[in-house]
């Protein structure tokens, strides 16, 4: 998670904040959209999966170090993992 800590320290809007717990649901959603945009900009690859699912060690997702539940959480923990394990490149 060294990469995430470095990214959080160097990019405003990507870091965690104590104000998160006082956000309205709309502000939580906006915060996640901003974080996902920053993540895509920092780690852009030819595929979206590369930016959001290619995490270090394949054990802890990038969004686990951020506050709240990511809108991509269910996708990363269920759908992506099922496709990764139960399909072939063909």
Task: Give the count of beta carbons closer than 10 Å to the beta carbon of residue 54.
Answer: 12
For residue range 31-48, what is the model confidence (pLDDT) as tens digits?
A: 888 888 888 787 766 555
For residue range 34-90, what is the model confidence (pLDDT) as tens digits?
A: 888 888 787 766 555 555 555 555 555 667 777 887 777 776 667 777 877 888 877
Cα-based distances in Å from 64 to 20, 44, 83: 15, 19, 21
The pLDDT assigned to 4 comes to: 76
| Collapsed DSSP state (helix, strand, coil) of residue 16 | coil
Per DSSP, 58 falls in state G
How would you label 7-28 residue by residue, b for 16+ Cβ within 10 Å and e otherwise? bbeeeeebeeeeeeeeeeeeeb
Radius of gyration of the chain (CA): 14
């Amino acid at each position: 998670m060294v990469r995430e800590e470095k990214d959080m320290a160097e990019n405003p809007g990507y870091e965690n904040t104590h104000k998160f717990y006082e956000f309205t649901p709309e502000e939580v959603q906006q915060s996640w959209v901003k974080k996902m945009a920053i993540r895509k900009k920092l780690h852009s690859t030819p595929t979206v999966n590369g930016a959001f699912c290619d995490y270090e060690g394949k054990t802890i997702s990038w969004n686990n170090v951020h506050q709240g539940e990511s809108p991509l959480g269910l996708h990363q923990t269920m759908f992506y993992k099922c496709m990764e394990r139960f399909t072939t490149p063909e």
